[in-house]
């Protein structure tokens, strides 16, 4: 952790700057995310589900903002809410909603889904119960003003040395490139 940032935050707190991110915002955003998530799995109409998923994603972006991670929030909005969900809708719109909403569920995977959901819930409950030991007892001292620069430093390195995550980042980009090539080759017969 950068000590300079730590002292920055401390001085800001001592100066009496009240954080705008109050618990009220957290409850509203978390509620929106949960309600949106429930709607995603309960709506029979796939377009309604997709719209509810967008609400959830935007609420989660708001939660990232509250965690002093504006860059992640911005990327969440661009990539998920703006990009992926538009493509989702694009595909869903071509499906015959009338028929598919009356169809019986033919997929027998619900026990697996239930198990996965239970495992995730168990993880969350453990984290909540043991939270004191797992996490620091006070807020991470990340100044929101330099969040983007810090991420850049970690990914690309700063002051002439390689970043902590440069290798992983480049590998991930290679993976995405392979996926793009795969998509092009699969859809295009003649290149």
Site membership for other proteins, residue 55 (CB under 8 A): no
Going by C-alpha positions, the residue among 14, 18, 21, 55 that lies closest to residue 38 is: 55
Site membership for other proteins, residue 32 (CB under 8 A): no
Choose which of 83, 113, 131, 182 interacts with other proteins (CB under 8 A).
83
Give whichever of 11 and 126 is closer to other proteins, judged by the CB atom. Answer: 11
Site membership for other proteins, residue 144 (CB under 8 A): yes
Site membership for other proteins, residue 17 (CB under 8 A): yes
Site membership for other proteins, residue 142 (CB under 8 A): no
Question: Encoding tokens for residue 101?
Answer: 């909403």
The torsion of the CA quartet 170, 78, 33, 95, rounded to 10 degrees, works out to -100
Q: Rounded to whole angstroms, how far apart are CA atoms 79 and 85?
A: 8
Choose which of 15, 20, 112, 186 interacts with other proteins (CB under 8 A).
20
Choose which of 52, 63, 73, 141 interacts with other proteins (CB under 8 A).
73
Give whichever of 82 and 113 is closer to other proteins, judged by the CB atom. Answer: 82
For residue 129, the minimal CB distance to other proteins (Å) is: 34
């Amino acid at each position: 952790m950068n000590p300079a940032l730590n002292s920055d935050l401390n001085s800001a707190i001592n100066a009496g700057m009240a954080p705008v991110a109050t618990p009220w915002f957290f409850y509203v955003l978390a509620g929106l995310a949960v309600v949106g998530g429930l709607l995603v799995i309960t709506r029979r109409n796939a377009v309604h589900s997709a719209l509810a998923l967008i609400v959830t994603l935007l609420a989660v972006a708001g939660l990232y903002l509250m965690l002093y991670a504006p860059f992640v929030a911005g990327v969440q909005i661009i990539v998920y809410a703006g990009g992926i969900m538009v493509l989702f809708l694009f595909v869903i719109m071509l499906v015959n909603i009338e028929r598919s909403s009356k169809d019986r569920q033919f997929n027998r995977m619900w026990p697996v889904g239930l198990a996965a959901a239970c495992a995730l819930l168990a993880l969350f409950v453990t984290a909540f119960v043991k939270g004191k030991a797992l996490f620091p007892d006070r807020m991470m001292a990340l100044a929101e003003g330099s969040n983007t620069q810090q991420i850049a430093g970690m990914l690309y390195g700063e002051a002439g040395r390689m970043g902590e995550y440069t290798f992983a980042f480049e590998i991930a980009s290679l993976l995405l490139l392979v996926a793009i090539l795969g998509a092009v080759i699969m859809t295009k017969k003649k290149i």
